[in-house]
Every structure is written in C-alpha cells, then in structure tokens.
Amino acid sequence: MGKEDGWEKEVELKTEIVPLTRPFGLWAGNVFQGIVKMNGKAVPYSEVEIEYYNPDSKIKAPEEPYVTQVIKADANGVFTYAMPKAGWWGFSAINTTDYTLKRDGKEYPVEIGAVFWVRTREMR
C-alpha cells in the first residue's frame, strides 16, 4: 500500500482482469470495474463471477444464487460491481483457450481463469 502508480497496468497473462478502478483504498459500497482480457484483447460479454469472503461475517446466504453473484461484461469486456459490505471480494472470469487436450481419443476444450481480489472497509 502507498504505491499509487502501476495498478492499472496489464500483467500480460494469457487471461486476466485489468482493473479500471484502483484496487485498494476501497470503502464498502464502492464499485470495482475491470476489463476481462484474453491474449491481450477484451473479451466481449464475458461472464464474471463474484464471491464475498469474510470468515468473521455472520452473513448467511438465503439461497445458492446469493453465494456466487454472476454478471456479464459489456461489448468492450468491461464489468462493474458495487460491493455492499466490508471484506474481501473475488472476481473471476473463465475463458476457453484456442487449444484442446486429448484423452482417450477425444478432444476437450481447455478453460483458464482470471481472478482478481479486492478488499473493502467500512467507513468509521
């Protein structure tokens, strides 16, 4: 913390989430925005899963769809999500590669994931 530059740079992984929001110094209620990329290009309409992790929380999900939130990126691969509680929020985008794996004479698609974690805090 304290380093204010470089957070928006791409890491140049096969797939990644590039932050558009500074990924630190976030309050509960702030939004996190990022671009899903694969091979350096935006992935239009990519599905992004969001999960809340806070082991000290007494929050219990009323049903399974509340555990993993699912949103879609727009045509430019950009997604936005408002984080309502303090804690750790994980963003994950799964993409299918341009190659397959063979097993027992069958070809199977290969999926790879981009994951990005941010932490929010309550204003006091």
- Contact yes or no for 92/49 (Cβ under 8 A): yes
Please give the pLDDT value at position 68.
94
Q: What does pLDDT average to in each consecutive run of 10 residues of the chain (124 residues)?
A: 81 96 97 97 97 86 91 98 96 94 94 96 93
Q: How confident is the model at residue 1, as a pLDDT?
A: 53
pLDDT of residue 4: 81
Contact 49, 111 (CB under 8 A): no
Is 94:110 a contact under the CB 8 Å cutoff? no
pLDDT at position 59: 85
> What pLDDT, on a 0 to 100 scale, did the predictor assign at position 2?
60
Domains and CATH numbers, the chain: 15-121 (2.60.40)
pLDDT at 113: 95
What is the SS3 assignment for the chain? CCCCCCCCCCCCCCEEEEECCCCCCEECCCEEEEEEEECCEECCCCEEEEEEECCCCCCCCCCHHHCEEEEECCCCCEEEEECCCCEEEEEEEEEEEEEEEEECCEEEEEEEEEEEEEEEECCC
Distance CA(98)–CA(78), nearest Å, equals 22
